[in-house]
Structure 1
Amino acid sequence: MRLISINVVKPGMVNGKTIWNEAGLPLIQRDVVLSDRLIDRLKQLKIQYVYIEDGISDGIAIEETVPIEVRKKAVKQITGSFHEIKGLRGKTAALVIDKKTKEIGKMVDDLLDCLLNSDEMLMVLTDTLLYDEYIYQHSFQVTLYSLAIAKELEYSRDDLKMLGLGALLHDVGKMQVPCEILFKPGRLTDEEFEIMKQHSRDGFEILRNLHTVSLIIAHCAFQHHERMDGSGYPRGLVGGEIHPYAKIIAVADVFDAVTSNRVYRNKMLPSQGIDIIQAGRGKIFDEKVVDAFLKSVVHYPNGTILLLSDGRRGIVVKQNMRNAALPSLRIFEENGQLLKSTYLFNLAEEANVSIEKVETDYIAETE
């Protein structure tokens, strides 16, 4: 199967991966032939990319690191926990979370088991499972990215568990932000942004009152918007003043924010989000954290079509664990002509060929 923009999907194409609705039920099953009605429905839901089955991508497997059932269960738990503290503050909200730390900890353990038992880089498919509200999916995915980074940094199991809890709860303060600001479809005013920024302090005030977990968890919420050069908030901390966990969550938070659909803008591809993180290396993001991130997260997911600098086109079939930016491709087109016989090409073995662009809008002449 391969990744394709919803804007070029045509009736008759075959859906390659089940898309789930907010209730965790299948919206469009795998192998369903897409019709005009189904395509319009996907566009209404702001789905930007789908996986399709076709001859170019025959036999290419695309699986998330975390199984769909684990993901659905985790997001359901996050949603329930966050909903229970809406409108509550400080010690009152902390009391609610305290009662749930055992099940939240079990959730982090389940995610850790998935990551530690996998030798592959982390891949998250955000368009295959829909949610009513972005914050719950975001909390889940930031946890995954944070754990993948820390795994690359060789954190101990205990440290991974603590970081996972901090990442999972890093945005809990957003439950105090008015919905009209949190889900505003346009740009926030200066006054609204100041209210939004308060979520870091609100999260800290809730989590510092927990009796069942370390105070470090509270600092994950407090510091995840701080930046190495002091340009972050709420306190303008610099470099060594920022806790190592918060430095990790900061990178995971930004990457997921730009690669997920938001009410005010469309998502970027993973490679585009990675460019943003790289641009901040050593400036606003910790260098070691960024380097670990680049090694642990898939840049070009399997099934992605790439145009190469020599004019060839190929589809990603395998990741390169030594260099995530240079996957192996199945070359299917040369000089604008589809090949009768495809062949494998490892970008890591050819220094003179580079990736020109990602082509999610590619349609072969025969399609």
Structure 2
Amino acid sequence: MKLKSINAVKKNDVLAKPIYNDEGQVLLNASVKLSESMISRLQDKGVSFVYLEDPDTDDIFVNDTLPPEKKAKAVKTINKSFKTIAYRISEGKNLDIDDLTVDFASVVEEILNTVTTEKDAITMLSNVMNYDSYVYQHSLSVTVYAIALGKKKGLNMKQLKELGLGAMLHDVGKMGIPIEVLNKKQKLTDEEFDTIKQHAELGFDMLRKSKTLPLLAAHCAYQHHERLDGSGYPRKIGEKDIHLYGQILAVADVFDAVTSHRVYRSAMLPHEGLELLQAGSGTLFNRELVDLFAKTVAIYPVGLEVVLSDGSAGVVKMNNPLIPDRPVIKVLRDAHGQRFDEPYELDLTERLNITIVKCEALIESKTYES
């Protein structure tokens, strides 16, 4: 199978993996031949990438970090709990969330059990991203990324649980933001952006009053938009005042935000998201954490079509867990675009003089330089 941008998919392309909705139900099954109306509907649903059948890559298989069933169960739990919080806010009711923490803790435990035993690089490409569920999907993905990064940093299990709860609830303050501002498709006004920024303090105020959540979980909500150089919000504090969890959350939050489809822009590929983090490494984001994150996530997802520095082209067949930016490539074409009668595998950890220079399965059918 190969990975394609939904905007590069053509009529009669055949799905290699099912497309799921937030309930874990299959929208379109594997082996379905796509029509123009199906492609349009997937675009409207916010799908950014799909896996397609391809005779040249029928030996390439993709394993999700979180299976669709587990992912759907987790998102439903987050969805239900966040909506309960939003209802209590709208009705002016007591906002005590201690009755919900068991549900959040169970999701974090499930992620811990999966991520801490995962040997492959983390892949969280979303099958479906409905506009009204972005916060819930985002909360789950950020939790996975944060726990994986925390593990790579060497945090113990108690710390990973604290970090996981903080990650899952880092955006809970958005339940207090007017929905018309939160989901606005057009560019936000300065006043609306100031309203959005209030979610960090709102979340902190909600969580710090909990009798069952660790106080550090509240600080995750408070600090995930702070930046090392003091340019973040809400307090514009610098590196020495930002807790390690807050610095981990900053990396995980930005990466998932830019690699997810939003109502106002399309998703970046993982390597583009990493480049954005690296551009701010040392000034906005903790340099060590960005470097560790680069070794944690699948920068080039399995199935992605790539062009190499020697001019040859192929598809990512597998990731190297210790060096995710040097995957194994199934090379299909030579530098002149001629197909090989017998494609071959190239492990980039063994050929350091060859690099990935372009990725072909891209948004709006563009080719982005690495």
TM over 0.5: yes
| Residue matched to 1:237 | 237
| Residue matched to 1:73 | 73
| Residue matched to 1:25 | 25
Q: Deviations over 1:73-117 (max 9, x none)?
A: 11000000000111545995641x200111211110110000112
- Which residues of structure 2 form unaligned runs of 5+? 366-370
Aligned to 2:281, the other structure's residue is in SS state coil
Aligned to 2:56, the other structure's residue is in SS state coil
Which AA in structure 2 matches 1:344? Answer: E
8 Å Cα contact 2:172-2:203 kept in structure 1: yes
8 Å Cα contact 2:47-2:126 kept in structure 1: no
| Residue matched to 1:342 | 343
Q: After superposition, where does 1:231-270 map in structure 2 within 5 Å? A: 231-270=231-270
Cα distance change on mapping 1:156 and 1:267 into 2, 3 Å: same
Rounded to whole Å, the distance in 1 between the matches of 2:131 and 2:46 is 11
8 Å Cα contact 2:46-2:131 kept in structure 1: no
Percent identity between the two aligned chains: 43
Q: Deviations over 1:288-346 (max 9, x none)?
A: 21121111110000000111111100110111123211101000000211111000001
| Residue matched to 1:191 | 191
Rounded to whole Å, the distance in 1 between the matches of 2:110 and 2:201 is 29
Q: After superposition, where does 1:52-63 map in structure 2 within 5 Å? A: 52-63=52-63
Rounded to whole Å, the distance in 2 between the matches of 1:295 and 1:311 is 26
Which AA in structure 1 matches 2:170? Answer: H
Cα distance change on mapping 1:111 and 1:151 into 2, 3 Å: same
Cα distance change on mapping 1:304 and 1:144 into 2, 3 Å: same
| Residue matched to 1:204 | 204
Cα distance change on mapping 1:254 and 1:93 into 2, 3 Å: farther
Which AA in structure 1 matches 2:3? Answer: L
8 Å Cα contact 1:21-1:131 kept in structure 2: no
| Residue matched to 1:294 | 294
| Residue matched to 2:163 | 163
| Residue matched to 1:154 | 154
Which AA in structure 1 matches 2:360? Answer: E
Rounded to whole Å, the distance in 2 between the matches of 1:127 and 1:287 is 31
Q: After superposition, where does 1:1-367 map in structure 2 within 5 Å? A: 1-86=1-86, 88-89=88-89, 94-95=95-96, 97-128=97-128, 130=130, 132-334=132-334, 335-360=336-361
Rounded to whole Å, the distance in 1 between the matches of 2:138 and 2:126 is 10
C-alpha deviation, 1:219, in angstroms? 0.6
Rounded to whole Å, the distance in 2 between the matches of 1:226 and 1:338 is 49
Q: Deviations over 1:180-230 (max 9, x none)?
A: 110110111111111111110000110010001211111110111000010
More displaced stretch, 217-226 vs 342-351:
342-351
Rounded to whole Å, the distance in 1 between the matches of 2:94 and 2:263 is 27
Aligned to 1:150, the other structure's residue is in SS state helix
Rounded to whole Å, the distance in 1 between the matches of 2:191 and 2:132 is 26
Rounded to whole Å, the distance in 2 between the matches of 1:302 and 1:130 is 24
Aligned to 1:348, the other structure's residue is in SS state coil
C-alpha deviation, 1:7, in angstroms? 2.6
Rounded to whole Å, the distance in 2 between the matches of 1:15 and 1:81 is 33
Rounded to whole Å, the distance in 1 between the matches of 2:354 and 2:231 is 38
Cα distance change on mapping 1:92 and 1:223 into 2, 3 Å: farther
Rounded to whole Å, the distance in 1 between the matches of 2:130 and 2:76 is 12
C-alpha deviation, 1:10, in angstroms? 2.3
Cα distance change on mapping 1:93 and 1:347 into 2, 3 Å: farther
Which 4+ stretches in 1 moved above 3 angstroms?
A: 87-94, 128-132
Cα distance change on mapping 1:93 and 1:233 into 2, 3 Å: farther
Rounded to whole Å, the distance in 2 between the matches of 1:124 and 1:315 is 19
C-alpha deviation, 1:232, in angstroms? 0.4
Cα distance change on mapping 1:28 and 1:130 into 2, 3 Å: farther
C-alpha deviation, 1:48, in angstroms? 2.7
8 Å Cα contact 1:20-1:130 kept in structure 2: no
Aligned to 2:295, the other structure's residue is in SS state helix
Aligned length: 361
Cα distance change on mapping 1:166 and 1:93 into 2, 3 Å: farther
Aligned to 1:360, the other structure's residue is in SS state coil
Cα distance change on mapping 1:92 and 1:221 into 2, 3 Å: farther
Aligned to 2:57, the other structure's residue is in SS state coil
**How big is the alpha-carbon RMSD for the aligned residues of Structure 1 and Structure 2?**
1.7
8 Å Cα contact 1:4-1:50 kept in structure 2: yes
Rounded to whole Å, the distance in 2 between the matches of 1:65 and 1:43 is 24
C-alpha deviation, 1:351, in angstroms? 2.5
C-alpha deviation, 1:234, in angstroms? 0.6
8 Å Cα contact 1:86-1:175 kept in structure 2: yes
More displaced stretch, 171-180 vs 353-362:
353-362
Q: Deviations over 1:136-158 (max 9, x none)?
A: 10000000110010010111111
Cα distance change on mapping 1:92 and 1:293 into 2, 3 Å: farther
Q: Deviations over 1:17-55 (max 9, x none)?
A: 111124331100011122233222222323232110111
| Residue matched to 1:365 | none
Rounded to whole Å, the distance in 1 between the matches of 2:103 and 2:21 is 24
More displaced stretch, 225-234 vs 26-35:
26-35
